Chains A and B, each alone.
Chain A
Amino acid sequence: MSRILREERHGRTFLLTPNLAKGQRVYNEELVVREGAEYRTWDPFRSKLAAAILKGLPDDMVREGDRVLYLGTSTGTTPSHVSDIVGDGGLVIGVEFAPRVAREFVEKVARQRKNVIPYIVDARDPSKYNVSRVDVVYCDIAQPDQTEIALANCAAMLEPGGRLLLVVKSRSIDVLKEPERVFREERAKLESAGFRVVAATDLGPFEKDHAMIYAKSGGRG
């Protein structure tokens, strides 16, 4: 079952995740108590995974106990919520290339959460962090060949039948192409690599010219 809580307030839907690091905030989000447990509000304008869920993608793309390879953690906003969702039995392998933002990720997320392992390395070289097979690969990196990088990581670490969450940053791939065309092309790349696209959505108005593709790898499952 999903660990994500949904609430309706002022006619809008809010997402909450159970706080794994009690009493601590990562990016000044609101902490609330529900049925005796502490939850953190999950801001869709700052986290593309939250945006995707609000845009109708399933809640259970990341599940309790999952091992997740997270490419492009940045300062750790979304990874902290992924860490909440997978819980103590899960694992988040967080990869970020830029030292400046990785500093915050290490301080505020990796140090505080026992299920997070940080790596400041290039995601083009999975051998540097290939410490475990994973159930989910989450990829949010601003590179023209982001899809190829994601696929290479899936090939190295994703279990057969595992899930891929790909944030398609159309402006990073080609500033001139229509975003929708970029989305179609990247989706086709996944399909020809043996992935089955379960669902996909544009992330507007939360994030401009971005889409999220949810796919499952071939093999079993």
Chain B
Amino acid sequence: MANPMASQAPQGDAKSLQDLREKSILAAEETIRKASSRPDLHLVQAIQALDDSDKFLNITATRAAEWYGLHFPELAQMVQDNVALCRLVLAAGKRDGFNAELLQGRGLTEKKIEAILTAKERSKGGELSDADLARVRSLSSLAVELSGEREKLNEYVESAMHRIAPNVCEVAGATIGARLMAKAGGLDRLATLPASTIQILGAEKALFRALRTGARPPKHGILFQHEAVHAAPKWQRGKIARTIANKVAIAARVDYYRGSEEASIKAGLDKRLESIREKYKEPPPRQPERRERPQQRRDRPRDRRQKYRRR
């Protein structure tokens, strides 16, 4: 893009300078407007909102369950999921509020329902005042609401990924693909990253530690969350993460530059994963313990010596 204002020389002329400034501001605002309407930025916000609400949901539901546990400690044993427990608290209120009718249709087995009702009769929990209950209940309702919002965010991320980056979505999965995009700073950035960088996105701390000290570099960052990586035996994970990263890099480029679905990427990935699983079925033989520390990068010590010499 050529800048129409670039050739004007404003020196000495206050009016033309203000004209130029006015035009520049308008052009800048237009750039900002354009940049802010990119759909992948909304996706990045959504995945971050999803991760935020996950954290907050966990904290809130755990606290509500813990608090209600003072009153009805046995319930937490029988209902493992804190959000489900919050739903029960909302519905039943105090311990006395639990009855068979209320517990039906919540995915609890007959045995569990019976156990809850028995436990209620001889609970070791303490008294709960109305004021206490009001707060616990309201906290529970916050948790329940949050979990609803989380679900909606999840659906949004899924559908947005299908729309914006169908190939990345296919290869990495919607949430992982979205997280990679968030880390990279948008689909355009992800499409320009080398696969080796994509492989360790999210493991920056381990990477820089490795570079500084000569320790072994990380094999996977965000990609560890990919089922094919974390479900694989340890010795295969590096190879699998590398393969997925390679395909994500290709997928991101197809999504960004061409924008059409390309089934061969996923097919190639599956084929390659299959052959890794086949070829590296057995764990590698144990390496004899290495005595020497891996060689350090020379930068640091050499620099230090120079520093002392100068003084």
* A joins B in a complex: yes
Which residues of B140-165 are within 8 A (CB) of A?
Answer: none
CB distance from A160 to the nearest CB of B (A): 16
Q: Is there contact, CB below 8 Å, between A178 and B300?
A: yes
A178 partner residues in chain B, CB cutoff 8 A: 299-300, 303-304, 307
From B28, B211, B300, B304, name the one whose CB has the most chain A CB atoms within 10 angstroms: B28
| Selected interface stretch from A12-20, A36-44, A99-107, A142-150 | A99-107
From B25, B36, B306, name the one whose CB has the most chain A CB atoms within 10 angstroms: B25
Q: Is there contact, CB below 8 Å, between A110 and B25?
A: yes
Question: Contact string, B1-43, partner A, CB cutoff 8 A, digits 1/0?
Answer: 1010110111100000110110011011101100110000000
| Selected interface stretch from A126-134, A201-209, A213-221 | A126-134
The dominant DSSP class at the B interface is helix
Q: Is there contact, CB below 8 Å, between B24 and A133?
A: no
B6 partner residues in chain A, CB cutoff 8 A: 127-131
Q: In the complex, A102→B36 CA distance in Å? A: 12
Which residues of A18-34 are within 8 A (CB) of B?
Answer: none
Q: In the complex, A99→B31 CA distance in Å? A: 7
Contact of B17 among A91, A100, A177 (CB under 8 A): A91
B281 at interface (Cβ–Cβ under 8 A)? no
Q: Is there contact, CB below 8 Å, between B25 and A118?
A: yes
CB distance from B175 to the nearest CB of A (A): 23
A116 at interface (Cβ–Cβ under 8 A)? yes
CB distance from A184 to the nearest CB of B (A): 9
Which residues of B297-311 are within 8 A (CB) of A?
Answer: 297, 299-300, 303-304, 306-307
Interface size on A, residues (CB 8 A): 28
Q: In the complex, A46→B227 CA distance in Å? A: 43
Q: Which residue of A lies closest to B18 (CB)?
A: A114
CB distance from B209 to the nearest CB of A (A): 11
B31 partner residues in chain A, CB cutoff 8 A: 99, 102, 120
CB distance from B6 to the nearest CB of A (A): 6
With contacts A114-B21, A117-B21, A176-B297 known, is A102 near B303, CB below 8 A?
no
With contacts A129-B6, A130-B6, A131-B6 known, is A106 near B25, CB below 8 A?
yes
Q: In the complex, A192→B10 CA distance in Å? A: 32
Q: In the complex, A6→B6 CA distance in Å? A: 38
Q: In the complex, A121→B6 CA distance in Å? A: 12
Q: Is there contact, CB below 8 Å, between B24 and A118?
A: yes
Contact of A175 among B24, B208, B304 (CB under 8 A): B208
A91 partner residues in chain B, CB cutoff 8 A: 17
A106 partner residues in chain B, CB cutoff 8 A: 25, 28-29, 32
Q: Is there contact, CB below 8 Å, between A180 and B307?
A: yes
A131 partner residues in chain B, CB cutoff 8 A: 5-6, 8-10, 20
B212 at interface (Cβ–Cβ under 8 A)? yes
A103 partner residues in chain B, CB cutoff 8 A: 32, 36
With contacts A120-B31, A129-B3, A131-B8 known, is A176 near B18, CB below 8 A?
no
Q: Is there contact, CB below 8 Å, between B32 and A102?
A: yes
Question: Contact string, A72-102, partner B, CB cutoff 8 A, digits 1/0?
Answer: 0000000000000000000100000001101
B24 partner residues in chain A, CB cutoff 8 A: 110, 117-119
Q: In the complex, A99→B21 CA distance in Å? A: 18
A127 partner residues in chain B, CB cutoff 8 A: 3, 6
CB distance from B3 to the nearest CB of A (A): 5
Q: Is there contact, CB below 8 Å, between B28 and A120?
A: yes
Question: Contact string, B195-215, partner A, CB cutoff 8 A, digits 1/0?
Answer: 000000000000010011000
A124 at interface (Cβ–Cβ under 8 A)? no
From B17, B21, B297, name the one whose CB has the most chain A CB atoms within 10 angstroms: B21
Q: In the complex, A129→B35 CA distance in Å? A: 20
Q: Is there contact, CB below 8 Å, between B11 and A133?
A: yes
Q: In the complex, A88→B297 CA distance in Å? A: 52
Q: Is there contact, CB below 8 Å, between B299 and A177?
A: yes
With contacts A114-B21, A127-B3, A175-B208 known, is A132 near B28, CB below 8 A?
no
A110 partner residues in chain B, CB cutoff 8 A: 21, 24-25, 28
A111 partner residues in chain B, CB cutoff 8 A: 25
Q: Which residues of B contact A (CB under 8 A)?
A: 1, 3, 5-6, 8-11, 17-18, 20-21, 24-25, 27-29, 31-32, 35-36, 208, 211-212, 297, 299-300, 303-304, 306-307
Given A106-B28, A131-B6, 13 more pairs with CB closer than 8 A: A99-B32, A102-B32, A103-B32, A106-B25, A111-B25, A120-B27, A127-B3, A127-B6, A128-B3, A176-B299, A176-B300, A178-B307, A181-B299
Q: Which residues of A contact B (CB under 8 A)?
A: 91, 99-100, 102-103, 106, 110-111, 114, 116-121, 127-133, 175-178, 180-181
Query: Would you list the 9 A-B pairs with minimal beta carbon distance, nearest first?
Result: A99-B35, A178-B303, A120-B31, A118-B28, A117-B21, A128-B3, A117-B24, A120-B28, A103-B32
Q: List 7 A-B contacts (CB under 8 A).
A: A99-B35, A102-B31, A106-B32, A116-B21, A121-B3, A131-B20, A175-B208
